A and B are shown apart, each in its own frame.
Chain A
Amino acid sequence: MNLNPMEQFAVKPIFGMDKPLLQIAGHPIYFTNQAVLMVIVAVVSSLFLTLAVKPNRLVPTRGQSMAEMSYEFVAGMIHSATGEDGLKFFPFVFTLFIFVLCCNFFGMVPGSFTVTSQIAVTFALAALVIGLVIVTGFMKHGIGFLKLFVPHAPWYLLILLIPIEVISFLTRPISLSVRLFANMLAGHTMLAVFGGFVVALGSAGGILSVLSVAPMLLIVAIMLLELLVAFLQAYVFAILTCIYLNEALHLHDHH
């Protein structure tokens, strides 16, 4: 019996694939449980979204309705955060949102693996976002993008304020990735801890076995809360992407 609540986050090669898939610069690359889940998420979400709109009904089916609602949700989000010209980033933000959302939801399936509880994954996603922000900013404004780091202030304060703004900008990928990672990690650890209570109480015997119903009920409540968190964190990730893209597109316009 394994009651270690952190065991669920272990990245390991999947069963029957103990040999590295390939070697890159001497580092063995394994096909891990994390990779399996990411492949499943990518395949299932893209298959679902493409097939769901295939019937193209006037009165949508359940699947088509879900696909259209997620489309409108993300489009509305981008429009409200960045305005009209932000909509050309729709494919990127939509893919990001659906990927994070599906990773969070697939992680909720008992026995599966939560990809977004790995800081490596969330930081890679956040680095992608910030990379896109920097590239967009320099493509749109050229060297003028650096004005993002220059607030309106007298010159003698700028000596102090520019480093602060630069550090503040560099903070973004970290806070973006840590927020998603920590939320998923905390929630799933909590679930595993209460699951451990159920097992421990249930095997204690006598009146204690009956008491094991209490943490069981609590798990149901936490599970519901986690479903909310799973959606909320995907939403926060996407809306912050939009806010950062907005700053790259419009610099200080909105202040």
Chain B
Amino acid sequence: MVRPPSTRREGRFCAVFWDFWETDLTAPDPDRLNDLGKRLDELKTRQGARTQGPPPGQSSIAFRFATELVAALVVGGGLGWGIDWLFGHFGFHTRPAFIIVFFVLGAAAGIRNVMRAAHEINAEIEAKRASGDGNGKETGS
């Protein structure tokens, strides 16, 4: 995590650019650094898994379910159409049969997708709650 301070100052890409990004720090005082490190570690253990990403919002969950469902229908119908086209190529006229069958299968796959997505979101929320309960009192949130 903590790296030794760099003394290399040559080979800069653009000094002006770096003057903007670097606050002018003189050689760090070891006591202050240790103290800072300790405080940072403390904060990190307190915050725990809070940095793992934003919680999924209502609309993003709804949108996810909708796309999963519709995409499965499109893929199912498309596959059925393709198979019918292939059979038609060899002289078997099955035209609507496979589209119907695969459209229904696609609907089933869509529901399977939504169930799986719900599982993932539940697991995510559950994991967040578990990490939140462990240190909820200290962070006061």
Contact = CB atoms under 8 A, between A and B. Distances in A.
B13 to A, nearest CB: 5
Interface string A1-22: 0000000000000000000000
A235 interface: yes
B14 to A, nearest CB: 8
A58 B18 contact: no
A249 interface: no
Main secondary structure of the interface of B (DSSP, over half): helix
Contact of A175 (B17, B28, B67): B67
B136 to A, nearest CB: 20
A171 B17 contact: no
- For B18, B63, B67, B68, the residue with the greatest tally of chain A CB atoms inside 10 Å of its CB is B67
Interface size bracket, A side: 35 or more
Interface residues of B, number: 46
A51 interface: yes
Contacts of B12: 54
Contacts of A171: 68, 71-72, 75, 109-110, 113
Contacts of A58: 2-5, 28, 33
13 contacts: A51-B17, A51-B18, A52-B21, A55-B22, A57-B5, A57-B22, A61-B22, A77-B52, A80-B52, A168-B109, A174-B75, A175-B68, A235-B54
Interface of A: 47, 51-52, 54-59, 61-64, 72-73, 76-77, 80, 160, 163-165, 167-168, 170-171, 174-175, 178-179, 182-183, 231-232, 235-236, 239, 243
| The 8 A-B residue pairs with the shortest CB-CB distance in the complex, in nearest-first order | A167-B109, A63-B21, A174-B71, A175-B71, A168-B109, A56-B6, A58-B5, A175-B67
